[in-house]
Structure 1
Amino acid sequence: MPRPRASSHPLLLLALAFLLCPLSALAAKLSEAFETPYNLSASRILPPELLSGPHHRVEEQVENDGYMNTYRVRSRYGPYRVVSTALLAVRVREFEAMAAMDKVAGGEQFGKSVLEGGESVLKGVANLVTSPVETLESAASGVGKLFARAEEGISGSPPSNHEDSTGAKLTGFASTRRALAVAFGVDPYTTNEPLRKRLSDLAAAGYTGQLTSMGLKALIPGGVGLAVSGVSSVNWLGEVDLAQPPSDLRMKNRADLERLKTPSGPATAFMDNREYTPTQQTLTVRALSAMGGPGGLDVFLRLAASTENQDQALFRTRMARMYAGYARKVDALKGFVALGRLAGAKAASGRLVLCFPLDHLCWTPDVARLATDIEAGRERVGAGPVELWVTGTVSQKVRSLFAARGWTVHEKAGKELLDEDF
């Protein structure tokens, strides 16, 4: 009797594998193959006003780390690396303000730059013009760490890393600078270094009497306040009185947290985190105050206090505002629950609500683990089905796998929850 050929053994083993392993389980394994984050096309995901304008152009290739987009922007003020679509919208507004500032100052003293052949030229700029946290080391955002990883100060919280020096505060220079920022419709605590320099230069001129208030109003397009056509990205600035000194904002924020009866430990830890700008901190506290008094605010604050960089600070601030928008427009929130380093909320309907300000979510090992943890957390708190709200989009795989778990996914939620137009 002839012996079977050795070459037939692999086929025999494969046949046995199919017989021994349930087809449904094998199909599930194949369907859950992880995605490698991929590049996106700027022209396909951005509205025209963010894609390009008189002072900037976004490069076509957009890097995504599975959570946030990283945009490369060529501008009249140098090249920028911008993490998140939300921050890109802010930068576009700031480019308009910088152009107006250059007109006010005569332009020459701030330097000239032009867009030629798709390349940005700016004297004295050897590397990307970025904020200290916008490094060139990696396209990965700081937000990804929140998905990968599951001492209290004195009564007067320390200043953030984004405020003027003590000397500037004492001379009155800082108040002049804040007034200019308000007039131009930008955040005085911006992380945009070229804008910060322009604000400081104009403030120095104004403080020494070279630029009168009336002269400034006459030169700013539209008087006081800068209107940028088609971009409502920074309407949230109107929620904060940016003319107030940051110490006054902190004092009010502490009082608001006390009024919400948040435990002093998490509240102080959040207030003492220097990664948040005064604006971000104030917006977060206002969002918490607008949620209708859900339980577990200490949970949200404890997680917010762990913020390590500006990517995460912006993410946490927008998350708070999304939950406030949900409470105002969709359903009341009963209380927050910790899901690793992220905050979920149980709604009055019983659903577990996840408001994540993400650009594009891919199915990665970290997301798979988080989904498992979320299901466990949902059962622990006795919540119903999961609702995921993201300001951007999710991949088809994420959409189908979450649907198989009974989750509801709401994409482009910034329009509904934050009144954004991108």
Structure 2
Amino acid sequence: MKSMYAPILAGGLLAASAHAQIPQAYEIPPVLSASRILPADELQGPHYRVRDSAPSDGYMTHFTIDSDFGVFNCVGERQVSQRIQEIGAIAKLAAVSRTDLFAEGVKRSVEAPIDAVKNIADDPEEAVKKLPSTVGHFFKKVGSSIQTTAERVGHKIDESDGEMSGDDWAAAGRGAGSAAKSVAGYDKAKLDTARQLGVDPYSDNKRLQEEMDKVTWAFFAGGLPLRIGVSAVSGGASLALTATKTTGLPAEVYDITPGELAFRDRTMMEVMGVPAQLIEDVFLNKALTVSLRHGILSNLSKMPAGFGRVDVVKAMVSLQQHRQLVFFQTAMKQLAERHALRPYVEVKVLGRLPGGLTADGYLEVAAPVDYVSWTQQVAEFARRDDMTGAKKRLLITGKMSKAASAGFAATNWQVVYTK
């Protein structure tokens, strides 16, 4: 998503100044204005409106969307775009559920393991929560504290600060269909529904998942074709192109069932030399949706071979919150795209942040953030003693305050603004 608030300085560097001074005072992250950050066409639509007040936590901007289907809290500009697309999808599903064809599908269903006749407007999702911390722990020095999923099952991670645990996310995004609907062909039918809607079939949006289940099951069990807002002559290729462009997901996510994707991901890790127990830990991580897991591993497979790729998998496994894994996946995508243009010689992990080592000795750390303020935590990251004397670059996708820019320059960081 192109944002007026995050200018792209392609390949530009803020070189460290020999006379730069570290700011004496820490900043309080600002409350920003959504109307100055988001494109005008995203601020409101037929079924939603984005609130103008958008507080920053020092790294990410928090937005609130009021919609016909409940309140959605979004962390970062990317999630705003995702939720807007999903709100539109829910509206289309609601329209389908009021049609005679949907009623006929329900009538034909011999057994429906979900409440297929529940109206979407009867139980709107209310997700108003206090502003949670998001990605700050990525920038802390963690040393050897990374643990495996098996060691953390049933526990929230130390930096949760009110964030949902892995178990809370287990019900959403684990597969295209729930265990109750493990009927041959249903997974493919739901993947096709998601493709037509241009949404992630494994989205953590529980409301979207419920409505996709309801509508898909009625048509699948009733033996009826489902066409959502597209003409009957639209081909699968054009639908796939639209969906992948909207979500950024590879086409195979819509063509391959969860079981087949799991087999591919397991094979990828084996080829990369990931130990067997660590592979099992990946599949034990309940916060990892199918699309997140496949996205991270696909991007990792494009990086240079070596032990660094195993370290990345270890870092991924240690994350037990959905938002953290979204950030991690975005960081890996950022690195893979940069590697395609400026090849790395090695993939590295700084704490929990993935990075790449360049041929001329720079460690480039991916940080897909919105707005960086010079807080105490940011300052501690910039001054990390485990990187003293190292040549280092921070790849960010958003913007920095003047104090943060000065602070990073004074601690010998080069900052690269990327897409």
Range class of TM-score, shorter chain: 0.7 to 0.9
Q: Map of 1:135-150 to 2, 5 A cutoff?
A: 136=129, 138-148=130-140, 150=142
Q: One-letter code of the match for 2:214?
A: D
Q: Map of 1:319-330 to 2, 5 A cutoff?
A: 319-329=331-341
Unaligned runs of 5+ in 2: 1-19, 101-116, 143-147, 151-166
Q: Is 2:58–2:374's contact at 8 Å kept on the other side of the alignment?
A: yes
Tell me: CA distance 1:82–1:235, structure 2 relative to 1, closer, same or farther (3 Å).
Answer: closer
Tell me: CA distance 1:124–1:288, structure 2 relative to 1, closer, same or farther (3 Å).
Answer: closer
Aligned to 1:339: 350
1:393 to 392, 399, 411: 399
Aligned to 2:108: none
Q: One-letter code of the match for 2:403?
A: K
Q: Tell me whether 242-251 or 395-404 shows the greater mean CA deviation.
A: 242-251
Aligned to 2:411: 405
Q: One-letter code of the match for 1:350?
A: G
| TM-score under structure 1 length normalisation | 0.75
Tell me: CA distance 1:227–1:111, structure 2 relative to 1, closer, same or farther (3 Å).
Answer: farther
CA positional deviation for 1:327: 0.1
Identity, in percent, stands at 26
Aligned to 1:80: 72
C-alpha deviations, 1:65-99, integer Å up to 9, x for none? 11111111012222211122111111111122223
1:360 to 371, 381, 392: 371
With a CA cutoff of 8 Å and minimum separation of 6, indicate the structure with the bigger relative contact order: 2
Q: Is 1:246–1:278's contact at 8 Å kept on the other side of the alignment?
A: yes
Aligned to 1:306: 318
Q: Is 1:387–1:409's contact at 8 Å kept on the other side of the alignment?
A: yes
Q: Secondary structure at the match of 1:237?
A: coil
CA distance in 2, matches of 1:366, 1:79: 30
CA distance in 2, matches of 1:301, 1:408: 27
C-alpha deviations, 1:102-127, integer Å up to 9, x for none? 33333797757xxxxxxxxx6544x6
Unaligned runs of 5+ in 1: 1-26, 113-121, 416-422
Q: One-letter code of the match for 2:44?
A: S
CA positional deviation for 1:49: 2.7
1:275 to 287, 306, 310: 287
Aligned to 1:93: 85
Aligned-pair Cα RMSD in Å = 3.2
Residue 190 of structure 1 pairs with residue 203 of structure 2 = yes
CA distance in 1, matches of 2:358, 2:41: 36
CA distance in 1, matches of 2:255, 2:140: 38
Tell me: CA distance 1:64–1:333, structure 2 relative to 1, closer, same or farther (3 Å).
Answer: same
Q: One-letter code of the match for 1:328?
A: A
Q: Is 1:357–1:392's contact at 8 Å kept on the other side of the alignment?
A: yes
Q: Is 1:280–1:314's contact at 8 Å kept on the other side of the alignment?
A: yes
Q: Secondary structure at the match of 2:200?
A: coil
CA distance in 2, matches of 1:200, 1:140: 29
Residue 102 of structure 1 pairs with residue 114 of structure 2 = no
Residue 291 of structure 1 pairs with residue 303 of structure 2 = yes
Q: Is 1:362–1:397's contact at 8 Å kept on the other side of the alignment?
A: yes
Q: Tell me whether 72-81 or 232-241 shows the greater mean CA deviation.
A: 232-241
Aligned residues: 358
C-alpha deviations, 1:179-221, integer Å up to 9, x for none? 21122221121111221121011112112226324x5575689
CA distance in 2, matches of 1:88, 1:152: 29
Aligned to 1:377: 387
Aligned to 1:35: 27
CA positional deviation for 1:270: 3.0
Tell me: CA distance 1:191–1:372, structure 2 relative to 1, closer, same or farther (3 Å).
Answer: same
C-alpha deviations, 1:372-397, integer Å up to 9, x for none? 22x63364xxx52x221112212111
Residue 257 of structure 1 pairs with residue 249 of structure 2 = no
CA distance in 2, matches of 1:220, 1:398: 53
Q: Map of 1:103-142 to 2, 5 A cutoff?
A: 103-106=95-98, 111=119, 124-125=123-124, 128=126, 130=127, 136=129, 138-142=130-134
CA positional deviation for 1:166: 2.1
Q: Map of 1:212-251 to 2, 5 A cutoff?
A: 212-213=225-226, 234-251=246-263
Residue 52 of structure 1 pairs with residue 48 of structure 2 = no
CA distance in 2, matches of 1:238, 1:217: 22
Tell me: CA distance 1:160–1:401, structure 2 relative to 1, closer, same or farther (3 Å).
Answer: same
Aligned to 1:12: none
Q: Is 1:352–1:378's contact at 8 Å kept on the other side of the alignment?
A: no
Q: Is 1:177–1:203's contact at 8 Å kept on the other side of the alignment?
A: yes
CA distance in 2, matches of 1:322, 1:141: 22
CA distance in 2, matches of 1:338, 1:292: 13
CA positional deviation for 1:42: 0.3
Tell me: CA distance 1:265–1:34, structure 2 relative to 1, closer, same or farther (3 Å).
Answer: farther
Q: Tell me whether 159-168 or 90-99 shows the greater mean CA deviation.
A: 159-168
Q: Is 1:142–1:309's contact at 8 Å kept on the other side of the alignment?
A: no
Q: Is 1:339–1:377's contact at 8 Å kept on the other side of the alignment?
A: no
Tell me: CA distance 1:107–1:180, structure 2 relative to 1, closer, same or farther (3 Å).
Answer: same
Aligned to 2:161: none
CA positional deviation for 1:267: 3.9
